[in-house]
Amino acid sequence: MTSLASVVSSSRARLFACFLRLGSQQASPLQLHTGASLAAKSHYEVLVLGGGSGGISMAARMKRRVGAENVAIVEPSETHFYQPIWTLVGAGAKPLSSSGRPTANVIPSGVEWIKARVVDLNPDKNCIHTDDDKKISYKYLIIALGIQLDYEKIKGLPEGFAHPKIGSNYSVRTVEKTWKALQDFKEGNAIFTFPNTPVKCAGAPQKIMYLSEAYFRKTGKRPKANIIFSTSLGAIFGVKKYADALQKIIQERSLTVNYKQNLIEVRADKQEAVFENLDKPGETQVISYEMLHVTPPMSPPDVLKTSPVADAAGWVDVDKDTLQHKRYPNVFGIGDCTNLPTSKTAAAVAAQSGILDRTISLIMKNQTPVKKYDGYTSCPLVTGYNRVILAEFNYNAEPLETFPFDQSKERLSMYLMKADMMPFLYWNLMLRGYWGGPAFLRKLFHLGKS
C-alpha cells in the first residue's frame, strides 16, 4: 500500500504544515508527567474529570490560569489515544501504535494525575467520589468524560468479535479486526452500520466504507463485493452541501445505502446481521456478510446518567453558548459527554476548549462570559486512500469552511491534513492548550472577502 510519505503534497498542504510548525514553536517544550504524587490532595481549585482530548486540553489551559499545583485530572486509563486516526488504522493506512501515548506523557507537568474512576458526582457539596473510596472537593469542576460504547446492546456482541470477518474502528480492541476482515474478504456482502443513538465522529461509519471500496478496487475484488451501508438515519449526512457530494460518490461507486435500518443482532458464527426497520418497528431483516463493520450504540457514561449534572437524557446539561452548567455555575462541560447540539468530534472539542477557557477565566473574576460557541465542528470525510471532503459546519448545519476553496470536493491536500497534519496538531498544540480551532485561519484565508 502506498505510504503517505511517498505522496507528493500540494502547495496548500506544505503551506499549512509550515504554519503549524511555527505555531508549535510558540508552545512550551513537552514535559513529561511522571505520575501521581505520594501526597495527593483532597481539594483542588480546578478538578477535571476525564483525561481524553477535552480533559487534557482544559487541564493545560487551567494550569496557566491557576497554577499546576491547583489542578488535578481524574482518569483511570494508562494510555491516551488519538482516536480519529483509527479510521485509517482500520483500513491499513496507519499502524495502531501511532495512535497512542502513555497518559503520563500527555498530562501537563505538575498537574496532579488521580489514577481512578469517578463513581459519584455531588455538585451540591462541590465534591466527587472515586472507585478507590476517595472524596475530592473542588472550587471549579470541568466534566470531560466522553461517551460510552454500548456494544452489549447489540445481541451477540461483544463476544461476536472473537469470530473472523467482523471489526469496529471505535475500539482499540477491535480496530485491527476491521483491517483483518478487509484483507480476508473474498466475495459477498460487506456491511457497514450506523446505530440509532448519538455517536462520536458521525462520519466514521461511512468513511471505512469508502476506504474498503477503494481497497477492493485496488486488490481486484470489487466485482465480487456488494457494499452496503445500513444506517438508522434518514439521510447520508446532516449538511446538505456535503450530503450532495457524498450521494454523487455513492452513485458513481455503486454503493447501496439502506436508510432507517438499525443493527440489533450479530450472529457471528453464521456471519449474519439482523436489522430492524425503524419505520416499521418489529420488522426485521437478516443479511449474510463476508465482512461486517459495526458502529456501536453509544450513550453518556453511566456515572453521569443519574447524576444531578445530567439532563433527562443523561448528558451534561450546559449552556450551548458558554459551556457553563445550567444549574451549577461552578461546573462546566466539554466534548462528547455534553448535550451541546453539534456533532461530537475532536475538532468540536478544540473549538470548545478555547471558548470554555475564556468562560472560566471570566467566571473566576466574577464577570459574565461574553464569548459564544457557534457549534463549530468538523468531519474530514475520507473517501479514499488519498482523498478527503472536509466538512465544517455550525449549530445550524451551515457550512463554516476554513479554506478559500470548495471543501465539498475530494482533495489530496485535505487527506494529508487528516492523515498527517491533524495528528501533529493534536499532540503538539491541542493537548498543550494552544489550539482552539481554526477560526483565526478562517479569517486569514478569507481576509478581504465579503
The arithmetic mean of pLDDT across residues 42-55, rounded, is 98
Is the pLDDT assigned to residue 437 strictly greater than 60?
A: yes
Which cell goes with 331? 461546573
Question: Looking up cell 465480487, which residue turns up?
Answer: 224
Pairing of strands 118-122, 127-130: antiparallel
Q: Which amino acid is at 157?
A: L
The angle subtended at Cα 387 by Cα 385 and Cα 389, nearest 5°, is: 135
* DSSP class per residue in 98-116: GGEEEHHHHSPTTSEEE-S
Last residue of a domain, one of 298, 325, 358: 298
The arithmetic mean of pLDDT across residues 198-207, rounded, is 97
Answer whether 40's CB lies under 8 Å from 114's CB: yes
* 210 part of a folded domain: yes
- CA–CA separation, 73 and 55 (whole Å): 7
* 34 part of a folded domain: no
Closest to 339 (Cα-Cα) out of 314, 361, 374 = 314
Task: Among 30-39, 134-143, 339-348, name the one with the lowest average pLDDT.
Answer: 30-39
Of 18, 127, 201, 337, the active-site residue reads 201
Confidence (pLDDT) at 255? 98
- CA–CA separation, 88 and 90 (whole Å): 5
Confidence (pLDDT) at 25? 38
Which cell goes with 39? 501526597
Is the pLDDT assigned to residue 325 strictly greater than 90?
A: yes
Answer yes or no: do 265 and 170 share one domain.
yes
The pLDDT confidence band at residue 393, using thresholds 50, 70 and 90, is: very high
Is the pLDDT assigned to residue 238 strictly greater than 60?
A: yes
Answer yes or no: do 214 and 225 share one domain.
yes
Answer yes or no: do 247 and 290 share one domain.
yes
* 22 part of a folded domain: no
Is the pLDDT assigned to residue 377 strictly greater than 50?
A: yes
Confidence (pLDDT) at 3? 37
Q: Which amino acid is at 49?
A: L
Confidence (pLDDT) at 39? 53
The pLDDT confidence band at residue 441, using thresholds 50, 70 and 90, is: confident
The arithmetic mean of pLDDT across residues 203-208, rounded, is 98
Confidence (pLDDT) at 196? 98
Q: Which amino acid is at 189?
A: N
Confidence (pLDDT) at 21? 46
Task: Among 6-20, 166-180, 203-217, name the one with the lowest average pLDDT.
Answer: 6-20
Answer yes or no: do 404 and 307 share one domain.
yes
* 10 part of a folded domain: no
Answer yes or no: do 279 and 361 share one domain.
no
Answer yes or no: do 123 and 180 share one domain.
no
The arithmetic mean of pLDDT across residues 351-363, rounded, is 98
- HSE, CB side, 13 Å, CA atoms: give it for residue 7: 22
- CA–CA separation, 290 and 270 (whole Å): 10
Pairing of strands 71-74, 43-49: parallel
Pairing of strands 148-149, 298-299: antiparallel
Distance of CA 251 to the CA centre of its chain: 28
Other Cβ atoms within 10 Å of 76 Cβ, number: 15
Confidence (pLDDT) at 60? 98
Would you call 337 a catalytic residue per the annotation? no
* 79 part of a folded domain: yes
Helix (H, G, I), strand (E, B) or coil at 168: coil
The pLDDT confidence band at residue 245, using thresholds 50, 70 and 90, is: very high
- CA–CA separation, 141 and 329 (whole Å): 10
- CA–CA separation, 435 and 229 (whole Å): 34
CATH number of the domain at 179, please: 3.50.50.60
Confidence (pLDDT) at 449? 55
pTM, full prediction = 0.92
Going by C-beta distance under 8 Å and a sequence separation of 6 or more, which residues neighbour residue 199?
A: 147, 205, 295, 298, 344
The arithmetic mean of pLDDT across residues 143-167, rounded, is 98
Answer yes or no: do 104 and 155 share one domain.
no
Other Cβ atoms within 10 Å of 341 Cβ, number: 10
Confidence (pLDDT) at 49? 98
Residue 275's domain comprises 151-298
* 350 part of a folded domain: yes
Adjacent-strand bridge partners of 49 = 74, 143
Last residue of a domain, one of 298, 315, 345: 298
Answer yes or no: do 372 and 250 share one domain.
no
Confidence (pLDDT) at 445? 82
Confidence (pLDDT) at 208? 98
Answer yes or no: do 378 and 307 share one domain.
yes
Answer yes or no: do 309 and 294 share one domain.
no
* 135 part of a folded domain: yes
Of 18, 127, 337, 379, the active-site residue reads 379
pLDDT in tens, 80-107: 999 999 999 999 999 999 999 999 999 9
Confidence (pLDDT) at 448? 52
Adjacent-strand bridge partners of 316 = 310, 338
Q: How far is CA 220 from CA 211, 217, 224, 348, in A?
A: 14, 5, 9, 38
The pLDDT confidence band at residue 447, using thresholds 50, 70 and 90, is: low
* 162 part of a folded domain: yes
Answer yes or no: do 396 and 274 share one domain.
no
Answer yes or no: do 183 and 92 share one domain.
no
Closest to 395 (Cα-Cα) out of 372, 369, 370 = 372
Closest to 418 (Cα-Cα) out of 348, 350, 353, 347 = 347
pLDDT in tens, 209-234: 999 999 999 999 999 999 999 999 99
Confidence (pLDDT) at 15? 44
Which cell goes with 18? 509550515
Question: Looking up cell 450513550, which residue turns up?
Answer: 299
Confidence (pLDDT) at 315? 98
Q: Is the peptide bond before 158 cis (omega within 30 degrees of 0)?
A: yes
The count of structural domains within the chain is 2
pLDDT in tens, 249-296: 999 999 999 999 999 999 999 999 999 999 999 999 999 999 999 999
